[in-house]
Amino acid sequence: MTSTSTSIAALGFAEVMARVEPGSYEVMRYFSAPPETQSAALAAASGKRKATAARHFEHLGIVVGTVDAAGLAALRADKRVGRVVSPPVLSLIRPVSAKAPDTAALAAATTWGIEYMKVPQLWDTGLSGKGVTIAHIDTGVDGTHPTLSNAIVSFAEFDMLGNIVAPPPLAHDPGAPPHGTHTAGTIIGSSIGGTRIGVAPGARLASAICIEGGNVTARILGAMDWSINQGARVMSMSLGFRGYWPQFIVIIDALRSNGVLPVIAAGNEGPGTSRSPGNYVKALSVGAHDVNSNVAWFSSSQRFRRARQPIVPDICAPGVDVLSAQPGNSSASWDGTSMATPHVAGLAALLMEANPKASISKIEQAIMSTAQRPAGISAERAGAGFVNALEALAAVE
């Protein structure tokens, strides 16, 4: 180990980088040391680690720069480096796997996830999500799919500045990217081949195309802003920035102050990872579990240094082998926290119907406080645990 790396490590820096083009890497270093010490470390790092074009933000304790592959390897090899995260890459949380549904799934009365959460017991009391609008921030949806007929009350597409595209897009395009159709089915779908797939089939969906075909921040924010105008009380979103990017905490605050509960996927990058804004304290973050009560291997989880809700995800929901709709009157079973998230958004709608006067904080607390963690499942991976709709209903009434 060189004296340079020793001096940098002694500062306790947790740095960060990602490839931005072949052969070079964007590097950001977070220092906890005083500015003058950071400067000394930066100079050392620039020399020994081949950093170029470094920019030092001493009051933030941050350096942004570029190193080559050798410099990156040296940083990664330093055992005293706290962690490595990516720059703010915004993307859809894609399913980990997708397959045709098996005959057993299509023969069941409901999907395993709906049964596992005890949602049918809520349906038996007459709840369906009626009167609640859920914002669906995704890739668009095939509204011609029979399981979604009459469920989508508004639809919009957003351009690169977050403006609504006019004239309205093909709101019922059978060629829509499949992700949004799958997640919409889990929220409000009726049935596929006799199997009920949607948690809140009586709710209304306000669906926005704002990811894929241009992954920029303004498209997502445009969709969120629009959701408020649609009267949404729940937002289901299965996308995010890899890592922790605090710039949009104020956005989540704004959603909540407008009465919208943000239900957001934790990510599919496994333990020690998460995405923003799902990893904010004020987001209800969702991980995935399987039918055997195991947290899915891909389900993101991460502990943060904060007093409130330090663990992401807040809860887990069914997210493995989830049967739902696909464009063109088709169906598929997918794995992902994207599949778990709409289960929770649908449940929130059922609870809002049960108690229309309940605040979004009360709804959120009802879901979290009644989640259950099976023996052997750690809070580090599952947060408060696996969602129990029946218990959540009792807590909100």
Partner 1 sequence: MPKQPQIDPVLAAHLEHAAGNVTVVVTLRRPKSAKPASADMRALAARVLDETSTMSGASPTSHNVLANLGVLVVDAPVEFVVQLLRHDSITTAALNETPQ
Q: Is 331 labeled as catalytic in the residue annotation? A: no
Closer CB to partner 1, residue 123 or residue 245? 245
Return the amino acid letter for 261.
Answer: L
Q: Is 124 labeled as catalytic in the residue annotation? A: no
Closer CB to partner 1, residue 60 or residue 379? 60
* Cα–Cα distance, 93 to 70 (Å, whole number): 31
Closer CB to partner 1, residue 57 or residue 69? 57
Smallest gap, in angstroms, from Cβ of residue 30 to partner 1?
10
Q: Exactly one of 179, 182, 289, 343 is catalytic; name it.
A: 179
Residues 6 or more apart whose Cβ sits within 8 Å of residue 353: 127, 128, 129, 130, 131, 132, 202, 203
Smallest gap, in angstroms, from Cβ of residue 251 to partner 1?
6
Residues 6 or more apart whose Cβ sits within 8 Å of residue 105: 111, 112, 195, 321, 323, 333
Smallest gap, in angstroms, from Cβ of residue 192 to partner 1?
34
Smallest gap, in angstroms, from Cβ of residue 174 to partner 1?
27
Q: Is 179 labeled as catalytic in the residue annotation? A: yes
What DSSP assignment string belongs to 4-69?
Answer: HHHHHHHTT-EEEEEEEETTEEEEEEE--S-HHHHHHHHHHHHHHS-EEEEEEETTTTEEEEEEEH
* Cα–Cα distance, 199 to 115 (Å, whole number): 10
Beta bridge partners of 259: none
Nearest CA-CA partner of 224 in 263, 166, 174: 263
Smallest gap, in angstroms, from Cβ of residue 258 to partner 1?
6
Which tokens in the block code for residue 391? 């218990």
Burial of residue 62 (CB within 10 Å: 0-12, 13-18, 19+) is: middle
Smallest gap, in angstroms, from Cβ of residue 180 to partner 1?
20
Closer CB to partner 1, residue 2 or residue 247? 247
DSSP state of 387: -
Q: Are residues 24 and 72 in contact, defined by beta-carbon separation less than 8 angstroms?
A: no
Closer CB to partner 1, residue 222 or residue 318? 222
Interface ranges with partner 1 (CB under 8 A): 18, 20, 26, 28, 53, 55, 57, 59-60, 62, 64-65, 87-91, 160-163, 215-218, 221-222, 224-225, 228-229, 241, 245-248, 250-251, 254-255, 257-258
**Angle formed by the axes of helices 337-354 and 389-396, nearest 10°:** 30
Q: Exactly one of 138, 142, 225, 321 is catalytic; name it.
A: 138
Q: Are residues 378 and 293 in contact, defined by beta-carbon separation less than 8 angstroms?
A: no
Closer CB to partner 1, residue 53 or residue 100? 53
CB neighbour burial string for 226-241, b if at least 16 within 10 angstroms, e if fewer:
bbbebbbbbbbbbbbb
Smallest gap, in angstroms, from Cβ of residue 188 to partner 1?
23
Closer CB to partner 1, residue 15 or residue 353? 15
Which tokens in the block code for residue 77? 């090899």
Could you list the active site residues?
138, 179, 338
